Structure 1
Amino acid sequence: MYKKHAACLGLLVGLLLPVSLLANQQATQDALREAFSGHATACTAALPAVALQAPGLLHEFYAQRQFVPLWQDAGRRLDLLHELQQLADDGLDLTPYQLSLLQAQLQRQADSQAEACAELLASHSYLLALQHLYQGRLPLEQRESLWRAESLPASTRPSLLSIAWQGLDKVANAFAAARPSQSHYLQLRRAYASLRQQSPAEWPLIEAGRLLKPGMHDPRIPILIQRLQADGYLPADTPSATLYSESVASAVRQFQQLHGLQDDAIIGADTLAALNQPFAARLEQLRANLERWRWLSAEMEPDLLLVDIAGGLLSYYQGGQLQWQGRTQVGRAVRQTPQLKSRVNRLTLNPTWTVPPTILREDKLPEIRRDIEFLARNDLQVLDQQGNLLEPYFIDWQRPGPIILRQAAGPRNPLGKLAIRFPNPFSVYLHDTPSQRLFEKSPRAFSSGCVRVEGILQLLPLLLDEAERAPLAARLDSGKTSQYNLRQPVTILMAYWTAAVDEQGRLILRKDIYARDAQLSARLRQAH
């Protein structure tokens, strides 16, 4: 197909161009072929040696078009320059795309060798930019890990080269096709673009000290007022005072809401850290999350259960439209909820709870050793590896051996009335919980890795067809433990973002509960 296209292109050029120009184009084609010969050329001064390897992405880009020059038109090169400059709004460092050198080579070069080098530089920058938008700036080994189930269907995304070839007629289309299309990314990109245009605000730092609560007098309150004014939470004419007034408290609550913090107007360590975050650090946080979206864009599907780990939210999409959303509780920093992609295929109704080995060792055994009645108070049974009941009083709890602790279904069971299960090596799942009051907290990192979901029973009808709902509701009401295999498995993605844009278009900067942003930002700064 591509050879036929190239032949037709050559015939058309031959009809339109004077003989001298045809000769120049042929010489440039020959120089392009020669650049991939493995011999040192003048082009290696502008291009990394790896880019000129054959086979390779750049080589394939030209080989499929018979090495016909692609950037002879000055208008196309100008379009390329414009799109490369827009990558700054994606939080990408423009250095690798060599804009200054491209700008200098906009005019036709004096000889075929120089023209070939200008061609290769333009294509290299073009392909590199598309690759960064399509797959992420960092190589796979430097990304935050994401476990994927082997049973997931293969990606149907077009290849990078397909996007690059199709976009040659209109370069902007190629960049739009490579850039993540999810509204989450595009809104975050707009927020970053707006923020980076602002003058870096060096707002006043608020010193550490006692907790600040509404109604208190404190010498730091005037600085707090200045800080809130600098970010638009208080009007500029708010009078300075040492009283922590209700109007200031209202502004602090709004600040806390937009920073994923408990909106109680109490200024403790977390709120103080967020207030004192430098402007540059805020930009870095957005850049890190734009990069995460570039990694994960390919994992998004129209029908999806999406767990936003740092955001403490579970969202269910059908046909790309949000159908349901609920708050979640996720793993503590010492027992983090993993990033993964799998398929929800099974429900446990009125589940029993088998205590995971880590929780058994670190949490339950110390309690049992202090008081063996802990087992009875919490409806915990002791079993051997074959599932046989054991008598707790006959066990040496200093060296209990390979036992299993299991809690019966019921109102005190930590899994509540429903567990939503999917294959993964971490033994995590979504589940109901009796710990409802914790959903009012923020951030909500309280679990041992599994995801507790508020109102999870509301999600159940969405996972079932109409004929399944009534029989399953009866089984749920029975109080008996049972398993149910979904007729239509649903993809689940659990991922980590610390920045988002809400329904009102407001930027949300969350607490980095797993302390990942700084490391990712450092890697992005080093990736030139």
Structure 2
Amino acid sequence: MMRVSFRRVGTACVLGALLLASGCRRHRKSTSAENTTDYAGNLQALVATKKLPSLRWPNFSDYQTAITTFYDDRNYELAWTRDGRPTATALAFIEQFKDAATKGLNPEDYDASLWAGRVQKLSGKSADAISEFDVAMTVNVMRYISDLRIGRVNPSHFNFDINVQSKKYNLAEFVSDHVVDATDVPKLIAGVEPDSEQYRQTEAALAHYLDLAKQQQDDDAQPLPMVEKAVTVGEHYSAAPELLKRLQLECDVVTADDSDSDGDSDKSSDDQDNRPVPHVFTKKLSEAVKHYQHRHGIEENGKLGPQTITSLNVPLSQRVTQLQDALERWRWLPDQYVNAPLIVNLPEFVLRGYTPDHQLDFKMKVVVGKVVGEHQTPVFAHMMRYLVFRPYWNVPVDIAKKELAPHVAVDPGYLEKHNFEVTNGKHQVLTHYTAKQVGQGGVLVREKPGPKNSLGLVKFMFPNQYDIYLHSTPAPYLFDRSRRDFSHGCIRVQKPADLAVWVLNGQPDKDKQPWDMDKVQAAFNDQTQNNRTVLLKTPIPIVIFYVTAEVEDDGEVHFFDDIYGYDADLQTVLAKGPPYPVKPEPVVPKTNDGDTA
């Protein structure tokens, strides 16, 4: 490659380079150690192009402003080489790039396999090689740090209401002042990543599953044969030995002793591990399957059915991808939410509460929005600000049109018979209205408070554009299902009274007495105080989250179906490479009043 000519760049760049070369230097803003400006013209020209063909992803236009400022603040000194050799910091980052997979990133996104050749070219002390090495390192260091800090794709692109702006670095300043001369790059990187034990546990699980995926690939493991109906204990299953090996891979079963015999108890565990396994689905295999089902959100019946086999046949490389996607989403969370006291994981159908030091305090089941019918529960982070005991359910117009108006057309008294009432815009109850008015929003429909109300006896409010919140339910039987996407978008909680006590902990009631279970139950049952609002003295951060790989406190990894296809959407965008989109996908705004249920 020819040395970059000044004629390839604009007049401003030419003048800037001439000024630098003549020693008329501006005030240097970087606090890093000074370096040579002998290659200033080359650096300016390369940065101005916004593309570097030698990169795997040549277009760095999304970082061009930061890179220009980075070099401008240091008077276009070199940053990553001295005397034609890479700095210790540059070499340390090259090792980080090679190891990027353990962070849930793609090493080749940071040119991991190209650095050896670039280093070798430096030995010739070519101005082109030195300049290209420097700009390539700056681009990849900024990409790597930004990707670990706020994720690769802006969550707003997926219409996730999570604002990453508050945690973004001034990359030009950060890299120049804190990175260029860093003596402990792994420690630096650890400080860039989310300060969250859940994030660190997910990262550790990813390293483990990378090893498991390689082992599975090396073993050339074949898919388990499908069955038409579930296999139960004592029945024949031709691939029982292969099933056992597959369950052992993720430690759902510890040993290969699957004979279910009380004999040979004096044999060593090694002898038992090596005994042939009959082609029978035994009790111990069933127990291992049950443990596997527990980790994958499948009904825990210990039977080897089609759903379980389909899950077992998912390559562990796909489980790696799920963990990578989880790490990406953890990076999206602003600092105030990365250790939120309340987190709902939608594909897991679970709400978790945490202590102030972020130790798990409770788990409870939830019901979330249906996959079909555009009722998916959105992903966002907000502050819980108040509770409403014995709430009305204000029916959204679209639900009233689809689900209530047809009944009113047939039976004008339908709403009253089913615990609804109709009001005007001043919340005055009406006795005369038409099905057309109900369907078009000319009148408002609300369900009366009480135990049969669709919202149950309490709702937990964190005001948001989606009208989504947590609430109780008169249909507790749905919590017995392993898959729980049944709502219109809101989140129904399994133990609303317990959650109310937890949320109100330390907060006095109107009589200045602490809230406890008795007071919560009294609020549930007090028919004289419908739609009673209780403001929280201290708002509580809550995250409505979406990860299909969750690591428990004991390190056990759980995987779930990508019910809304959000993992697939993320992978589609990532496959295209940088620069990644930052603008949201088009979305139809909410136009009707009412509460999503």
Q: TM-score, normalised by structure 2?
A: 0.75
Query: In the alignment, what sits opposite 1:286?
Result: 323
Q: Out of 415-424 and 236-245, give the one that drifted further.
A: 236-245
Contact 1:331 1:447 in 2 (8 A): yes
Instruction: Indicate the SS of the match to 1:504.
Output: coil
Greater CA deviation, 428-437 or 353-362?
Answer: 353-362
The residue number in structure 2 matching 1:236 is 256
Aligned to 1:329: 367
Segments of 5+ residues of structure 1 without an aligned counterpart are: 14-24
Letter in 2 for 1:262: E
Report Cα offsets for 1:347-403 as digits up to 9, x if no partner.
Answer: 2111122233343333445566677776455422344454343448x7458986534
Following TM superposition, by how much is the alpha carbon of 1:124 offset from its aligned partner in structure 2, in angstroms? 1.6
| Residue aligning to 1:305 | 342
Q: Which residue of 2 aligns with 1:20?
A: none
Counterpart position of 1:490: 540
Which of 170, 188, 193 matches 2:207? 193
Q: 1:75 deviation in Å?
A: 2.1
1:113 and 1:513 map into 2 onto residues whose CA distance is: 50
Name the structure 2 match of 1:17.
none
1:134 equivalent in structure 2: 149
Map Cα deviations across residues 52-95 of structure 1 (whole Å, 9 max, x no partner): 89961212222222223222254222211111122111221222
- Name the structure 2 match of 1:404: 444
For 2:289, the equivalent position in structure 1 comes to 252
How far off its partner does 1:212 sit? 1.0
What CA distance in whole angstroms lies between the structure 2 residues aligned with 1:127 and 1:315?
35
Q: Which residue of 1 aligns with 2:454?
A: 414
Between the aligned partners of 1:375 and 1:448, the Cα distance in structure 2 is 19
- Please give the residue correspondences for 1:156-175 in structure 2 after superposition, counting only pairs within 5 Å: 158-164=169-175, 165-168=177-180, 169-170=182-183, 171-175=185-189
Please tell me whether residue 210 in structure 1 is matched to residue 247 in structure 2: no
Preserved CA contact (<8 Å) 1:380 1:407:
yes
Distance in 1 (CA, whole Å) between partners of 2:230 and 2:56 is 57
- Using the TM superposition, give the Cα deviation of residue 431 of structure 1 relative to its aligned residue in structure 2, in angstroms: 0.8
**Paired position in structure 1 for 2:508:** 467
Tell me the distance in 2 between the aligned counterparts of 1:117 and 1:309: 45
Between 291-300 and 221-230, the greater mean CA deviation after superposition: 221-230
Checking the alignment, whether the CA contact within 8 Å between 1:134 and 1:160 is kept in structure 2 is no
Unpaired runs of at least 5, structure 2: 1-25, 260-276, 579-597
1:155 to 158, 161, 166: 166
SS at match of 1:56: helix
1:138 and 1:5 map into 2 onto residues whose CA distance is: 30
Q: Give CA deviations for 1:300-353 in whole Å, capped at 9, x if unaligned.
A: 255543221112222334545144443221111122111122222232111122
- Distance in 1 of aligned mates of 2:409 and 2:538: 45
**Distance (Å, rounded) in 1 between the aligned partners of 2:457 and 2:53:** 65
Is 1:264 paired with 2:301? yes
Aligned equivalent of 1:88: 101
CA distance in 1, matches of 2:425, 2:198: 46
Count residues with an aligned counterpart: 507
Distance in structure 2 (CA, Å) of the matches to 1:54 and 1:278: 36
Please give the alpha-carbon distance, in whole angstroms, between the structure 1 residues aligned to 2:493 and 2:38: 66
Contact 2:459 2:472 in 1 (8 A): yes
| Deviation sequence 1:450-493 (CA, Å, 0-9, x none) | 01112233333444443337387365552321123333222322
Partner of residue 43 from structure 2, selected from 12, 32, 44: 32
Residue 238 of structure 1: SS of its match in structure 2?
coil
Contact persistence 2:507–2:537 (CA under 8 A)? no
> Would you say the 8 A contact 1:163–1:174 is kept in 2?
no
Going from structure 1 to structure 2, the CA distance change for 1:111 and 1:213 (only over 3 Å counts) comes to closer
Contact between 1:51 and 1:58, CA under 8 Å: does it hold in 2?
no
Q: Counterpart of 2:348 in 1: which secondary structure?
A: coil
CA distance in 2, matches of 1:162, 1:429: 40
Whether contact under 8 Å (1:331, 1:446) holds in the other structure is yes
SS in 2 for 1:146: coil
Q: Which shows bigger deviation, 403-412 or 367-376?
A: 367-376
Partner of 1:429: 469
Residue 281 of structure 1, CA deviation: 2.2
CA contact (8 A) 2:57 2:109 kept: no
Q: Is the 8 A contact 1:352 1:407 kept in 2?
A: yes
Which secondary structure state, in structure 1, belongs to the residue aligned with residue 384 of structure 2? strand
Whole-Å separation in 2 of the counterparts to 1:261 and 1:379: 36
Is the CA contact 1:163–1:177 (under 8 Å) kept in the aligned structure 2?
no
> What letter corresponds to residue 368 of structure 2 in structure 1?
V
| 8 A Cα contact 2:56 2:108, kept in partner | no
- Indicate how the Cα distance of structure 1 residues 96 and 276 shifts in structure 2: closer, same or farther if over 3 A, else same: closer
Displacement of 1:439 in angstroms is 2.4
Please give the secondary structure, in 2, of the residue aligned with 1:27: coil
Structure 1's 159 and 8: CA in aligned 2 closer, same or farther, altered over 3 A? closer
The range that moved more, 336-345 or 295-304, is 295-304
* C-alpha distance in 2 between matches for 1:362 and 1:53: 45
Aligned equivalents of 2:62, 2:478: Cα separation in 1 = 56
Going from structure 1 to structure 2, the CA distance change for 1:173 and 1:30 (only over 3 Å counts) comes to farther
- SS, match of residue 486 in structure 1: strand
Residue 146 of structure 1, CA deviation = 1.0
Deviation at 1:502, TM superposition (A): 0.8
Cα 1:8–1:306 change in 2 (3 A) is closer
- Contact map agreement 1:182 1:297 (CA 8 A) in 2: no
CA contact (8 A) 1:136 1:294 kept: yes
Q: Does 1:453 align with 2:467?
A: no
Judged with a 3 Å threshold, the aligned counterparts in structure 2 of structure 1 residues 380 and 471 are, in CA distance, closer, same or farther, namely farther
**CA shift at 1:277, angstroms?**
1.2
